[in-house]
Structure 1
């Protein structure tokens, strides 16, 4: 192979014995080198065939060699191909290997290689005064040095404790580390964290010595106990390697899933953070528990809150007997009768923002600054923006009889009477209405029962007075039917059918639980409907 500015081949490296040389490398005196000869051994094949013993001669100590290379260049990792007394050598991650098996890729570690200096320190070589012959290799200019890397594995989720990582430092030292079951990487040379569900990892390389005051890198965002700062160390980017075990999933049957799985990724998951999407950044804290009394005001210690929730000692939500001031961050109790004391107050701050950038490391950038200071442990939630919503009545008609079929058009003959919705329109509010189909079925000329398709029978009424069944979730009526709209002529069996549409947008929730052992003790999620929550 001919020499080029970026490669070398067919040139002999200088193998030197002696106390020192002009390059400043200290080497062993040949007299101090231990020689071993006549070692007899038998291969597995010869053992089975009762063949003759074999023998070899070898030397142990430190044999130093250096390649003549272009100034300011370094040997490219993994490019060395050489022979030492007919024994093939290669380099791998800063180590020189000999007798590498083409079947398994494993070999005997013979010592380190300094890529920058072009220096080998072989601790195991053939006996005698061997000549090192270079058969091929590359010299590299303008190395890319990095102190941290972020990456995402091509397969996820990963099996816990399966991620291992290796890299070669600028000094030629091999750095290795593994992640524990919690995804934490914390060794003397590497610190970082991996999310096994997404396969995203963030890793920093560090020195083991104490850093100077101006050589400290803050890594507290990793959330690793006892690790807040490190002394950074550079590694060659092309030497960073990792291995991990990931899971793959078979696609779900469309008949079971209810939709075409072609529209979903192979593992059934979709990204929830995208450029141009909205997220809600929040932090929830607790105050208490405290024994409270009538007239007592609790200052929660934070202002411009988005939500306050009071819990009794039994864990149930307390919805009455107090008033809140979200701007001031206070709650005042007016009637604590029936409270399970002591009570705990949960308070939350939030910012809703548009995402401007999403990094594979999990870092999000927003189009505007956040208005609160969010401590560690805060959450980022995806937001489904539905636009302007309002409650309304979408369908209204009557039938002479009803066969319990929930259709959005009359079935059969209409009733002899009708409801005058022009003079007395059905009333709905954003607070009480929900998306539901309703039937008011007459049991007598002036008596009827109120039934919902999903909520069942909720009330009875008569044509002589207004009917306003209360939604127990909000304390506001589902709807209001005025007495002035009924008129006369109604008979038992007649039905008034109408549909209401709530101010909440419809959301389809699909959740699957894969077969396998339990991985968490408290697996839950929470949906929060936000209306006009644009608090500065």
Structure 2
């Protein structure tokens, strides 16, 4: 078994018509050949979008029944054009007979999995078990992405800048929350909470059901504070991977002045009255009035008193009353000194944003202004500042120097994705959940991490040596016609894994320049857990990989080998391929003369050889129908016209005296191939790319 024995065959019809698809043929995909899987992208496609679904057959193509262990496929790179996206579709229900009309509904099933590519947003060392990647989702269908810049925003309004935060990360679905707050401003407690949760919305609309992230606000009345603990029972759970955040006023930043102690407010140096916190009464009025954050107390549309926040002086226009009950708690909250903070958390106003677009500005107590910015992994770095922004927009930063809370501002880019309606006769995307955005990684699924190095060469000559990378798992050279130079005998080139060197051999003379040399280091690992854009691996990596290395989700196809099973005879054929009943009058001797298969000819099928006389019979396949008539004087070898080889061979000696008319011999064949689906979506927009491609890798282990 050689590398060339692993082929990807076309189905009966390649195209986007509803009747395309069907059985495997003997026409193999030619690596590098233009438009061999998908048709070229037309001007209309670029203008209005397009969606293509193609059925392919990865197969072990040998003329024997050797076995390929754990066959698997994955996309190892995407097209260069950002408007084009290619995905593998793994559907349990997919059959050899399926056409595009039957395949399209599989895209909306809960059991269907999608496989694509992402890339590392940070380098990883050997033995690492955590991968930070650009995205865990892809858009299956054509879409339009718009970016809107949000400039000069504040984490909170001036009134809420005095709140500190404590947060809890949900590792499942949290419905009970208890948070210790030892520094709560007990004399006049103020607190509230927010958290995020996921739910589907849009059922029954033209865009279909979509999975959205929503923020819920809990007021002070919906929370409980006892013995230094804020607690809550919530009926809509905090979703996995989301935060429950408590906002509260701290006695380290603020103090409360009660009018029951003194009607005169005394402020120390750099202290000021917190706007919107002063409470008093108007004489002969039982109502409690709070200042309007502009220094005024208003009753029935009239100002009856004013307060100076810097001096604490209250000026009465009409008589005022400082006396109140314990519950009314008349007084003011005072900000202590030149208050600074060392950390800050807040939620961006939108969870649909570019993760590398967050830009933060702040000022220290000394008056120095600094900034920090985020990267694709959500890491925030800058002078005197580090932190993170989660995939859903939760910002958590720390400062190495005290920072004025009111000085913090930020920018970010909000991203909106709109699915383009299908053209007439196209696939109805409203049947897809989450508006066509699909997960391409799954817990306990396999991924292939790849460091690919490609170099272009205008010419190569025999005897030339080129340095690539050491210990590569895969090395190939393609010429200007897209033809691979690999051969079993190394006639065209050879590779030294220790030196990381490619040597050009004499066979190069029959190929055409220019050339592309590709060397890939790769390994397969299993995802143990997923958190936002991070993949936690079950086992450590064997190698180090740079930022930008490709991470591909893998579709495992299983062992590839032509096999038979469930051989039996029936005394009466009732057009039931699954029937197990009374045996026929004679046996078919497959012990001494077993059914012979080749990997190239066998298909996944249940068969019945139904006798019409003691010597004549018909061969009927469950899906291919009546395909052959024969007799016991000759070998039974029905030809698979799609593959150019027999479906199976049953030697004439196995028939013995034959069976009686109406009796049948039943069995099932297993193919050395398995169908898969691949999609290509083209989003509307102008592209300068004339020639583009993506790479489908097919691998396995020789038994």
Larger Rg: 1
Higher strand share: 2
Please give the TM-score of this superposition, normalised by the length of structure 1.
0.47
Please give the TM-score of this superposition, normalised by the length of structure 2.
0.38
Q: Which has the higher contact order (CA 8 A, sep 6+)?
A: 2
